[in-house]
Copies of this chain bind each other. A is one copy, B any other.
């Protein structure tokens, strides 16, 4: 957990991996985890029944599809998806995103998917 006692450089952390849709933990804030993820292509429809989910676009464009609209988040834009709200993230080109969630949240929520990732990988 050395990342908690030193500064974290986002660009350096993003340079350490290339795979998509696999969030990596970079810091912890009480019982919350700060994660980074590279995304490209389609994710699955899902929700998190017990927590909001924070998306902050570090570089690129992230779309979040909701039941009645699609939100476009560009570099420097963020959104908090409220708990229980079905959403589907996707990106037309690779996009770098910061996520913040309580420790232990699964990326696909209640949805079973081959995109379900381990939720305890530090980088």
Contact = CB atoms under 8 A, between A and B. Distances in A.
Interface of A: 4-11, 26-30, 32, 34, 51-54, 58, 71-73, 76-80, 82-83, 100, 102
**Secondary structure dominating the interface of A:** strand
Task: Tell me how many chains of this kind the complex includes.
Answer: 2
Given A29-B54, A54-B27, A78 B4 contact: no
Given A7-B71, A7-B73, A73-B7, A30 B102 contact: yes
A102 to B, nearest CB: 7
A58 B53 CA distance: 20
Contacts of A27: 54, 78-80
15 contacts: A4-B80, A4-B82, A6-B79, A7-B73, A7-B79, A8-B77, A10-B76, A11-B76, A27-B78, A27-B79, A28-B52, A29-B32, A29-B100, A34-B78, A100-B100
